[in-house]
Amino acid sequence: MGKARENVEFFGLCDSNQASALDAHRELILQAPTANFGGLKRSLWERKNLPKLIKGHGFSTVFTPYQVQNFSSKAKSVLMLRNMEPFCFDQFQYGIKNRVRNHALRFATIRSMQSADHIIAVSGFAKDKLQERCRVSDDRVSHIYHGRDTFFSADIYEDKVETTLQELNINRPFLLTCGSLLPYRRCEDVIEAFVKYIASNGPTYDLVVAGDSNDSRYKNKLHRLANESGQKSRVHFVGHVSKESIRALYRSAKIVILATEIEACPNIAIEAMSAGAVILASNSRPLPEIIGQGNALFFEQRNIDQIHKQLQFLTESKKEAAELRQCAQQRAFNYSWDRCVEKTLTLLERI
């Protein structure tokens, strides 16, 4: 969104909620009644209405910040690969509903990517996977990272953090893992490593699990694992939390553990770095790419013993932890939404 650049105008198609947040650019907003549409209903609305809207306004290029386009148009199309789950989910035990959803999304993604004029990949890993699975030539792909939400690096009063922790019934000190509770997050590895750490070091810390799930089978598995671990009272499932709450959790956690194995450009890693967290992360791509070496400790994916040993090292080595915290926060400045927007607009002008 913004003024004309080199005789090119950019318009945004927004639902009512998005339009109200962009009130300053009202003249550049096209409003769509899709705020409360579910996936299928929204898809049908777009398929029916977007070709007419594009033709009526004479748009030459359409940018969809997602990987599926379900309508046809003479305008050039630019898509964005943001979700790697459809390409990698079959190595995990998903419930039937999510397996069907991911199969459908994989088919739709490959079809859309192969027909798009250009694609934005949000990490080097996403770009590699795109070329491997969709057979898209290098000249049709650009690599643009997501930006950093400065909310997570903004100053926050300690009493506000304490109030948030009290509302969530969380006591310090604690370790944190977060994100949607889906099988690719490997939350079970974090719980098992935490239980092992408690067994060898005593009940020094609690573990906070922030995030919810639409996969009830996996969610129940995690609760059962915590219940049977002998440390049920020390593992706190707080569910989906507000933006303010997750910032407070990032800020006050002793260590943030990211065991996820499927990401495109992981927002949780950028958020945690912005908040100045000490991060212990899986070496699964693209986490090392996004976090950078020397800004966190990494472990081999699914290696419970290694997670346990790294936890022990970070909890005992205050100097190293403090250095990682500082380096991670500095690394976060590499990610800028202004830079992301500028690169995206420049690309759209060129297409």
Are 99 and 166 part of one and the same domain?
no
Dist. CA 236–CA 223, nearest whole Å: 10
Residue 41: predicted pLDDT: 78
Residue 34: predicted pLDDT: 59
| Assigned domain for 163 exists | yes
Residue 71: predicted pLDDT: 87
Residues 6 or more apart whose CB falls under 8 angstroms from that of 287 comprise 258, 260, 263, 266, 269, 281, 298
Are 324 and 188 part of one and the same domain?
yes
Are 173 and 58 part of one and the same domain?
no
| Assigned domain for 12 exists | no
Note down pLDDT in tens along the chain; length 351 residues.
Answer: 444 556 678 888 877 777 776 665 666 677 776 555 666 777 888 888 889 989 998 999 999 999 999 888 899 999 999 999 999 999 999 889 999 999 999 999 999 999 999 999 999 999 999 999 999 999 999 999 999 999 999 988 889 999 999 999 999 999 999 999 999 999 999 999 999 999 999 888 999 999 998 899 999 999 999 999 999 999 999 999 999 999 999 999 999 999 999 999 999 999 999 999 999 999 999 999 999 999 999 999 999 999 999 999 999 999 999 999 999 999 999 999 999 999 999 999 988
Q: Which amino acid is at 320?
A: E
Are 135 and 198 part of one and the same domain?
no
Residue 10: predicted pLDDT: 84
| Six token digits for residue 107 | 């088919």
Give the count of domains, the chain. Answer: 2
Residue 3: predicted pLDDT: 46
What is the widest separation between alpha-carbon atoms in the chain? 68
For residue 173, give Cα distances in angstroms to 12, 98, 176, 255. 45, 35, 10, 10
| Assigned domain for 27 exists | no
Best CA proximity match to 147, nearest among 5, 267, 27 = 267
| Assigned domain for 18 exists | no
Residue 147: predicted pLDDT: 97
Dist. CA 340–CA 277, nearest whole Å: 23
Are 173 and 315 part of one and the same domain?
yes
| Residue indicated by tokens 């994916």 | 301
| Assigned domain for 16 exists | no
Are 193 and 243 part of one and the same domain?
yes
Dist. CA 325–CA 295, nearest whole Å: 7
Are 177 and 292 part of one and the same domain?
yes
Dist. CA 254–CA 201, nearest whole Å: 15
Classify residue 272 as left (phi > 0), alpha (psi -120 to 50) or beta. Answer: alpha
| Assigned domain for 94 exists | yes
Residues 6 or more apart whose CB falls under 8 angstroms from that of 117 comprise 61, 76, 77, 78, 140, 351
Residue 43: predicted pLDDT: 80
| Residue indicated by tokens 């694609």 | 119
Residue 217: predicted pLDDT: 92
Are 305 and 344 part of one and the same domain?
no
Residue 293: predicted pLDDT: 93
Are 128 and 224 part of one and the same domain?
no
Residue-range definition of the domain harbouring residue 342: 37-147+336-350
Are 121 and 174 part of one and the same domain?
no
Are 227 and 258 part of one and the same domain?
yes
Dist. CA 329–CA 126, nearest whole Å: 24
Q: Which CATH number do you get for residue 108?
A: 3.40.50.2000
Residue 179: predicted pLDDT: 94
Residue 26: predicted pLDDT: 65
Are 175 and 84 part of one and the same domain?
no
| Assigned domain for 3 exists | no
| Assigned domain for 13 exists | no
Dist. CA 152–CA 178, nearest whole Å: 15
